[in-house]
Structure formats: structure tokens, C-alpha cells
Homo-oligomer: A and B are copies of this chain.
Amino acid sequence: MSNSTPQEPQFDPQLLDSIKIVLCQTSHPGNIGAAARAMKTMGLKHLVLVKPKDFPSEEAMVRSSGALDVLENAQVVETVEEALADCRLIIGTSSRNRALPWPLIEPREMGELIKEQKEARPVAIMFGRESTGLLNEELQLCHYHVNIPANPEYMSLNLASAVQLVAYEIRLASKITAESVGEDSHSIDGDSDYSSTHGVEADLEHDKDSEQLASFEEVDGLYNHLESAMNKTDFYNPEQPKLLPARIRRILAKARLNKGEVNILRGFLSSIDKYIKRHVK
């Protein structure tokens, strides 16, 4: 708080530019427009629409109230996988009540995470349908679920309002403060620790690329390969998946694999495929 005229705070444009707001199967075009407006007020630019019911639309343009650039640049895709392909941190909006425990954060923690995990960009934040939110299969593609603390007797938060709150926390996280100037990005895989205690520094040096966090597409490819291997070895029956796919997805979400690790695991899975080819006719 200050009595004198305050200085305009500065906001980190890289952080704001690294955020994709992903709206899944939005029914009402007005909500898409209002979401674009909410995004722009907080300095967010990248809107991705998965199978919108009605877009482009006049109503969306009207409700966007001048945030037309966000609408015009919106990417429209058929599947969630397309929307997330190049993202390294995936956060899904969710109510608290889910079948399988998943890392759950509040919008404020979400902002901190996005600020700290500079290596995990671009970041996708997924919003579900007006009526039913995100499907479990969609939620299982996320590293974290974010829950907006709402009145348990009345959770009816408008889609654009949810986007507004999330965008607001991201904007606050992007504020450049004295402390955040020259702050290092925190590596969540504890790499430097690891390498120094295990003397693999050299390797990690000339292997920078493999140390880069894997993209959604890469991890999703690993998941599908793993599922098919589990199927071949009769461990997994796609007819009766039960909670297995969710549990596997959650393991991958927690592991935050880098490219090299994805390659190792895929190499192992390929060796199973080859082994089966070689030995089984």
C-alpha cells in the first residue's frame, strides 16, 4: 500500500506469453468471447478451442468486447492431444472431488509453479464444458489439477469467471518483484544435486537436450507404447481397463520425465517388441 503515486508494476512478458488457455467443447460462444476478454485484461494471448460447439461466432465477438485479436488468433483443434502437444506443464481445472487422487493445487500455488518452473513451458491450462467440466480422461493428462475454492453450496462459477481468476493469478505471478529479478528457475528433478553426487555432470553437460522436459506429445507416445506392451504381455486388457490407465498416467505425471528418460523407457519397450518378434512366431 502506498500513499504516493505508485510506479506501474512490471510483468514478465515471457511468462504471460507461455500460457495457453485451452477450452474443451465449450457450448456457448458467448463464453468463448468473455473468456477472450478475461484473458486479455490479464495480458494472456493464446486461446485454444477444442471442438467448440459454435465458433467463430458473432456472439463470441460481441462478448469479447474488443479482445478480437485473441479470438482471431485462437487455435481450433479436434482433440485435446493436439491442443497439448507441445506443452510441458499441463494443469486442468477441477472440483475437489475426483476418483483418483491427483496433485491438487489452488490458483495461487498454480501461479507460483508456473513462475518457478521456467523449464516447463509452454504451459496449458484446461477448462472443461460449462455443464460437466473436464472428463476424467482429460484430467488424467494433467500434471496438476487446480481447484478454485468456491462456495460448496453454490459452485456455479461461470466459465469466463474461472478463466478470469486463473488469468489473474498468472498475472500476479508474472509481476516482476525485487526478489524475482535474476531469480533462477527451480529444476524439479533435482538434477544438479543428482549429477554432483553421482558424477554424471559431464554426461549431462553434452546431453543438454535429453535433459529438457519431455513435451506432452512425447510422454503421450510413451504412454501408448507402454499400454500396447502391457497388452501384448497380457498384463493389461483394454476391454477392462479399470483404473490402470489412470494410475499409469499419474505415474508419468509425477515423474515429469525429460526427453532422455522418455527415450530410455521407449527403448526398453521396443526391446520387448523386438524380443517378442524374435522369439514368438
> Interface residues, chain A, CB within 8 Å of chain B?
1-6, 8-9, 11, 34, 37-38, 40-43, 65-67, 94, 96-106, 108-109, 136, 144-145, 147-152, 154-158, 160-161, 164-165, 168, 171-172, 175, 181-182, 185-191, 193-195, 198, 200, 203-204, 211, 229-230, 232-236, 243-244, 246-248, 250-251, 253-257, 260-261, 264-265, 267-268, 271-272, 274-276, 279-280
- Determine the distance from Cα of A6 to Cα of B9 in the docked complex, in whole angstroms: 35
State the CA gap A265–B255 with chains docked (Å): 14
The one of B40, B96, B190, B236 in contact with A8, judged by C-beta atoms closer than 8 angstroms, is B96
B186 and A104 within 8 A (CB): yes
| Chain B residue at minimum C-beta to C-beta distance from A260 | B247
Are B104 and A187 touching (Cβ within 8 A)?
Answer: yes
Q: Are B99 and A1 in contact (CB under 8 A)?
A: no
| Copy count, this protein chain | 2
B251 touching A254, Cβ below 8 Å: no
Q: Is the CB of A101 within 8 A of B186?
A: yes
Give the residues in chain B near A271, CB-CB below 8 Å: 230, 233-235
With a cutoff of 8 Å between Cβ atoms, the chain B residues found around residue A194 in the complex are 97-99, 246, 250, 253
Give A261's nearest chain B residue, CB to CB. B251
CA distance A275 to B150 in the complex (A): 50
Q: Are A154 and B105 in contact (CB-based, < 8 A)?
A: no
- Closest CB in chain B relative to A186 CB, distance in Å: 5
Residues from chain B with Cβ under 8 Å of A264 in the complex: 244, 247-248, 251
Chain B residues, CB < 8 A from A246: 194, 198, 200
Q: Is the CB of A103 within 8 A of B65?
A: no
> Of B3, B42, B247, which is within 8 A of A151 by CB?
B42
Question: With A and B bound together, what is the CA distance between A136 and B194 in angstroms?
Answer: 11
Q: Is the CB of A268 within 8 A of B233?
A: yes
Cross-interface CB contact of A6 among B11, B66, B96, B268, cutoff 8 Å:
B96
Complex formed: what's the CA distance from A93 to B248 in Å? 32
Given A164-B161, A275-B233, also A203-B40 (CB < 8 A): no
What is the bound-complex CA distance between A253 and B188, given in angstroms?
11
Distance (whole angstroms) from the CB of A15 to the closest CB of chain B: 13
Q: With A203-B243, A234-B271 given, is the CB distance from A1 to B41 under 8 Å?
A: no
Evaluate contact between A187 and B96: CB separation under 8 angstroms: yes
- Nearest chain B CB to A260 CB, angstrom units: 7
Looking across the interface, which residue of chain B has its beta carbon closest to that of A16? Answer: B151
Q: Which of B42, B96, B156 contacts A41 (CB 8 A)?
A: B156
> Residues of B contacting A161 with CB < 8 Å?
37-38, 41, 160-161, 164
Given A189-B250, A235-B271; A3-B103 close (CB under 8 Å): yes
